[in-house]
């Protein structure tokens, strides 16, 4: 963007407008009620509208005030691996069981740092797996199979 | 029940061996996360909330409280030794503490921080014991309009004290309030914003939101620019203070304690504000202000006492009104709720053992902290050499497993990922996560009390101005916003808040 405006203010304003708009529009489907007996839609519609207005105001305030510093590089590797790991964990914890999921998750997150080699990531993931087993399964009695139904023959 | 017998009851709870053990674990963990930069008490408490589920209520809350004030304490060690505040509230301690360490007086600086914190913690705990009961009694007369106004006040004061753009902070609060509305409507049972997913009918999981916004977002932020830390001071010797040192720190500790105790009650980050306020007071009162920044021991004693006092007194609004003063207190509310207790003025009467036990445990915890920190400081220095690349995979895994273990609900884990990326984007674009979490916790309460108040008044919004307490609270809220937008104070705020948790 080569415009003379704050990228940060624009982006955060846009997020506010988008989320506020979603909440307000979705809440239109619910009963709005009256001030005396407010329905489930009352607060979300009002607050959603306020959030849209705030988003516009935040973006407008950034006009003419470009950010002083260039934004840092996006940590793509981290974003993909860390978020991917969390999604993977959620999708497979029931099916694959505790040990495989924790091992793979630990390995993937460790690899998201450019400072970890494959070997050090392996060591970290095995260490963490043992630690998590001791704390959550042995110590706290979390009910989850060691090896899930997908891997049993 | 008078104070003495109440405190006796409290100590009988706090001195129970199991509770001492968990208090110890709490302050130990707190010191640990306080020492390690990059992971703060908010994310830690969020991750450990699920673990405390299996403990009984007193033990759980004693441990969580220990993490919080332990972190205030541990943060100062990092600040002094490597000039990097482990916690935002120790940012000021780094100024003079690190200079003292460079002059070979790290031991004296650490000892000062320890003594100041212990003294301040003890006094503030007593204040909590004195003022909480009458405040709770007063709060029992609060009706829906008063609670509504009180929540509005809490939310608005938190932006007045936050740093950065006020508009963005307001936006984060409103976004938090909206997120708090996900789930079934309390009056009609209508499911809202659930995408038809049955698991979301109970609302977004608080732990998932907190872990995502504070833990995962912070990790992504740190991965932008990976640096290794350097520990400047390898060994700490000579913890004893000279007679001259002792004379110089007495008054700063007393003033810091006073300031911190008052500011800690304010919503929004009183513990950070108080350490900055104490530093500038000491500098102004000092006969040798030029020493500040060069290793003045007063510059360590005052702010450290202030932030520890504030850490204790910030429990007052939580324990008496059920209103959190900042995100960690919001998590404590989550802990109360997980235990099936509604935090508020009734806790003191319905759960006296819990209420007084927590207060007494704070004193025990402060004592444990002194024991933990001074002789073991070498251990903490070693801790600093754990590289971040080992630490953050542990945080991610703990977050996932911990959240999963609360309800065995995989949607909670998807929520972590969603709030992790949302939090990261918002932080990157200059918004603070703390108001969002505060709004999220208070959103349902705000809506409930607003709707109830409107039913009481038959739809007349003037009810908030006709009731004197409510009108006063709203007036204060307005004042807080006005003060925040005044230009002179805006400048001051920009100087004061350099970093936040």
Q: What is the pLDDT of residues B85-120, one digit of tens each?
A: 666 667 778 778 888 887 878 888 888 888 888 899
Nearest-angstrom CA–CA distance, A56 and B452: 32
Residues of chain B in contact with residue A43, where contact means CB-CB under 8 angstroms, are 177, 181, 447, 450-451
- Determine whether the interchain pair A26/B393 forms a contact, defined as Cβ–Cβ distance below 8 Å: no
Q: What is the mean pLDDT of chain A?
A: 84
For residue B199, is pLDDT > 80?
no
For residue B160, is pLDDT > 70?
no
Q: How far A1 CA sits from the closest chain B CA (Å)?
A: 15
pLDDT of the residue at B136: 82
pLDDT of the residue at B463: 84
The H or E element spanning position B191 is strand B191-192
The reply to whether the predicted model has a pTM over 0.90 is: no
pLDDT tier, A56 (very low <50, low <70, confident <90, very high otherwise)? very high
Where would I find the beta strands (DSSP E) of A6-149? none
pLDDT tier, A50 (very low <50, low <70, confident <90, very high otherwise)? very high
pLDDT digits (tens, 9 = 90+) for B49-62: 777 777 888 898 89
pLDDT of the residue at B493: 53
Nearest-angstrom CA–CA distance, B370 and B352: 28
For residue B478, is pLDDT > 90?
no
Q: How far A118 CA sits from the closest chain B CA (Å)?
A: 12
Q: What is the mean pLDDT of chain B?
A: 81
pLDDT tier, B394 (very low <50, low <70, confident <90, very high otherwise)? confident
pLDDT of the residue at A48: 92
CB contact set of B243 (below 8 Å; sequence gap of 6+): none
Cβ contact B501:B88 at 8 Å: yes
- Determine whether the interchain pair A78/B223 forms a contact, defined as Cβ–Cβ distance below 8 Å: yes
pLDDT of the residue at B327: 76
pLDDT of the residue at B115: 87
Residue in B174, B193, B458 closest to A51 by CB: B174
The H or E element spanning position B22 is helix B17-35
- The domain limits of chain A are 7-61, 76-151
Query: Which residue from B minimizes the CA distance to A16?
Result: B171
pLDDT digits (tens, 9 = 90+) for B247-267: 888 888 999 898 888 888 776
pLDDT of the residue at B229: 53
Residues of chain B in contact with residue A27, where contact means CB-CB under 8 angstroms, are 192-193
- Determine whether the interchain pair B424/A113 forms a contact, defined as Cβ–Cβ distance below 8 Å: no
pLDDT of the residue at B490: 56
A125 and chain B in contact, CB less than 8 A: yes
Q: B-contacting residues of A 44-103, CB under 8 Å?
A: 44, 47-48, 50-51, 54-55, 57-58, 61, 71-75, 77-79, 82-83, 85-87, 89-91, 93-94, 102
Q: How far A37 CA sits from the closest chain B CA (Å)?
A: 6
pLDDT (mean) for B163-179 = 86
**Best interface-test mutation with A: which of B396, B404, B431, B436 has the largest number of A CBs within 10 A?**
B396
pLDDT of the residue at B424: 92
Q: Is the dihedral of CA B236, B241, B245, B251 positive or negative?
A: positive
Residues of chain A in contact with residue B407, where contact means CB-CB under 8 angstroms, are none
Tokens in use for A29?
């489907």
pLDDT of the residue at A1: 47
Q: Is residue B318 helix, strand or coil? A: helix
Nearest-angstrom CA–CA distance, A52 and A17: 4
For residue B494, is pLDDT > 80?
no
- Determine whether the interchain pair A73/B394 forms a contact, defined as Cβ–Cβ distance below 8 Å: no
Closest-CA residue to B310 (of B365, B367, B268): B268
pLDDT digits (tens, 9 = 90+) for B19-37: 999 999 899 888 888 777 6
pLDDT digits (tens, 9 = 90+) for A115-149: 788 888 888 889 888 888 887 777 666 777 777 77
From first CA to last CA, the distance across chain A in angstroms is 56
**Best interface-test mutation with A: which of B429, B430, B440, B445 has the largest number of A CBs within 10 A?**
B429
pLDDT of the residue at B500: 39
For residue B234, is pLDDT > 60?
no
pLDDT of the residue at A16: 93
Q: Is residue B10 helix, strand or coil? A: helix
Tokens in use for B370?
């002194």
pLDDT of the residue at B401: 85
For residue B499, is pLDDT > 50?
no
Q: B-contacting residues of A 4-43, CB under 8 Å?
A: 7-9, 11-12, 15-16, 19-20, 23, 26-27, 30-31, 34-40, 42-43
């Amino acid at each position: 963007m080569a415009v003379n405006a704050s990228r940060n203010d624009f982006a955060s304003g846009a997020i506010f407008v988008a989320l506020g708009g979603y909440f307000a529009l979705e809440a239109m489907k619910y009963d709005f009620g009256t001030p005396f007996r407010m329905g489930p839609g009352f607060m979300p519609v009002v607050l959603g509208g306020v959030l849209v207005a705030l988003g516009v105001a935040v973006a407008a305030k950034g006009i003419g005030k470009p950010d002083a510093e260039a934004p840092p590089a996006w940590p793509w590797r981290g974003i993909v691996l860390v978020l991917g790991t969390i999604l993977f964990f959620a999708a497979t914890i029931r099916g694959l069981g505790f040990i495989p999921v924790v091992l793979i998750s630990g390995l993937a997150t460790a690899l998201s740092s450019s400072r970890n080699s494959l070997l050090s990531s392996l060591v970290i993931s095995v260490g963490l797996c043992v630690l998590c087993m001791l704390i959550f399964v042995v110590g706290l009695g979390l009910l989850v199979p060691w090896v899930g139904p997908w891997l049993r023959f | 029940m008078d104070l003495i017998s109440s405190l006796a009851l409290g100590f009988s709870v706090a001195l129970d061996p199991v509770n001492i053990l968990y208090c110890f674990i709490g302050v130990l963990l707190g010191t640990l996360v306080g020492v390690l930069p990059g992971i703060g008490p908010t994310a830690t408490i969020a991750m450990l909330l699920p673990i405390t589920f299996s403990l009984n209520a007193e033990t759980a809350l004693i441990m969580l409280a220990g993490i919080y004030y332990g972190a205030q304490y541990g943060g100062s060690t990092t600040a002094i030794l490597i000039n990097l505040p482990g916690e935002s509230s120790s940012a000021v301690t780094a100024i003079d503490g690190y200079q003292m360490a460079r002059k070979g007086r790290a031991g004296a600086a650490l000892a000062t921080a320890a003594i100041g914190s212990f003294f301040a913690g003890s006094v503030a705990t007593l204040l909590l014991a004195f003022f909480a009961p009458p405040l709770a009694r007063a709060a029992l007369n609060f009706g829906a309009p008063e609670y509504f106004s009180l929540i509005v006040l809490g939310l608005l004061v938190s932006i007045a004290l936050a740093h950065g753009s006020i508009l963005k902070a307001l936006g984060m609060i409103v976004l938090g309030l909206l997120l708090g509305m996900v789930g079934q409507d309390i009056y009609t049972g209508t499911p809202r914003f659930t995408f038809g997913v049955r698991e979301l009918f109970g609302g977004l999981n608080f732990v998932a939101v907190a872990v995502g916004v504070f833990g995962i977002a912070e990790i992504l932020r740190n991965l932008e620019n990976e640096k290794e830390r350097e520990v400047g001071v390898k060994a700490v010797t000579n913890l004893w203070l000279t007679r001259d040192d002792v004379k110089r720190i007495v008054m700063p500790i007393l003033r810091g304690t006073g300031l911190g105790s008052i500011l800690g009650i304010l919503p929004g980050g009183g513990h950070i504000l108080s350490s900055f306020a104490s530093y500038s007071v000491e500098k102004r009162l000092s006969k040798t202000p030029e020493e500040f920044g060069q290793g003045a021991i007063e510059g360590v004693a005052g702010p450290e006492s202030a932030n520890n006092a504030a850490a204790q007194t910030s429990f007052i609004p939580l324990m008496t009104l059920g209103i959190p003063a900042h995100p960690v207190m919001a998590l404590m509310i989550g802990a109360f709720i997980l235990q099936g207790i509604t935090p508020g003025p009734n806790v003191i009467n319905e759960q006296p053992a819990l209420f007084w036990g927590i207060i007494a445990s704070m004193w025990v915890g402060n004592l444990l902290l002194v024991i933990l920190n001074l002789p073991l400081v070498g251990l903490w220095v070693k801790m600093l050499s754990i590289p971040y690349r080992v630490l953050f995979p542990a945080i991610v895994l703990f977050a996932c497993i911990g959240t999963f273990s609360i309800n065995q609900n995989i949607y909670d884990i998807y929520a972590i990922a969603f709030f992790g990326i949302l939090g990261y984007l918002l932080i990157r674009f200059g918004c603070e996560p703390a108001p969002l979490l505060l709004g999220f916790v208070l959103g349902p309460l705000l809506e409930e009390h607003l709707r109830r108040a409107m039913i009481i008044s038959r739809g007349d919004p003037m009810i908030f101005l006709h009731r004197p307490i409510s009108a006063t609270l709203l007036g204060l809220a307005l004042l807080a916003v006005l003060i925040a937008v005044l230009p002179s104070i805006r400048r001051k705020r920009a100087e004061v808040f350099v970093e936040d948790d």
